[in-house]
């Protein structure tokens, strides 16, 4: 397991494992016309395994599929396919958006095992282990809009107190790590990409 309660200089007061999930993320692009404006579009297939280890269960069965779009430098993310369609069309007016996958090409595809914990009855810790040997995590706190600033302060204090757990180097997202390892398509987006066998942080 990635975390061991009571073996560190400052153990968590409480730690509960909430979920264990398998994620398959597929990112889409069209001639760099989306990423050049900071827009990322992905399809996520998600399977939740309560209290079992999927690595010991053989081949995974298909799970829930969702589409997501996020504008870089913004916190907001949408899963509304009609909004995603508008975002794609605004950057690529001639796209055959009525086709499968909004008419976009596959840019990258990888899988990850996601562990979700609740620490100290307050903070949600999400840890992702990808199939290309990259780890990254986030600490989240759900609050009302008017309490966002206070929540950021609480998370910063929590991270400082729990600095024994995570790597203090600059965190690297899964997609960035994927491109660094496999390269970014420069001319034509590959149809079948190479496959490997917020407050982010990189866990030890």
- Tokens (6 digits) for 173: 């997202």
How confident is the model at residue 5, as a pLDDT?
46
pLDDT at 10: 56
Q: What are the tokens at 37? A: 């404006």
Q: Please give the order of strands across the beta sheet that includes 135-140.
A: 77-78, 64-71, 39-48, 15-29, 105-119, 123-130, 135-140, 200-203, 166-167
pLDDT by residue for the chain (204 residues), tens digit each?
344 444 555 567 888 888 889 999 999 998 888 888 889 999 999 987 755 555 545 444 557 899 999 887 665 678 999 899 888 888 877 777 777 888 899 999 999 999 999 998 899 999 999 999 999 998 998 888 888 899 999 998 988 887 777 776 778 899 999 999 999 876 444 444 444 434 554 443
Asked if 39 and 73 touch (Cβ cutoff 8 Å), the reply is no
Which of 97, 93, 106, 121 minimizes the C-alpha distance to 29?
106
Contact 109, 131 (CB under 8 A): no
Give all domains of the chain, ordered by start, each with its CATH number: 15-203 (2.40.320.10)
């Amino acid at each position: 397991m990635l975390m061991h309660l009571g073996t560190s200089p400052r153990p968590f007061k409480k730690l509960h494992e909430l979920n264990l999930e398998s994620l398959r993320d597929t990112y889409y692009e069209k001639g760099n016309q989306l990423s050049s404006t900071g827009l990322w579009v992905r399809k996520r297939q998600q399977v939740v395994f309560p209290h079992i280890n999927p690595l010991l269960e053989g081949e995974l069965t298909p799970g829930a599929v969702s589409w997501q779009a996020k504008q870089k430098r913004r916190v907001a993310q949408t899963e509304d396919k009609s909004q995603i369609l508008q975002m794609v069309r605004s950057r690529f007016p001639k796209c055959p958006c009525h086709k499968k996958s909004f008419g976009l090409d596959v840019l990258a595809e990888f899988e990850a095992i996601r562990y979700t914990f609740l620490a100290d009855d307050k903070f949600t810790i999400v840890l992702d282990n990808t199939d290309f040997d990259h780890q990254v995590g986030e600490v989240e706190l759900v609050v009302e809009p008017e309490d966002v600033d206070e929540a950021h302060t609480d998370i910063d204090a929590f991270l400082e107190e729990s600095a024994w757990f995570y790597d203090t180097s600059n965190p690297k997202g899964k997609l960035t790590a994927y491109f660094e390892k496999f390269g970014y398509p420069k001319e034509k987006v590959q149809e079948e990409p190479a496959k490997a066998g917020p407050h982010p942080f990189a866990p030890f």
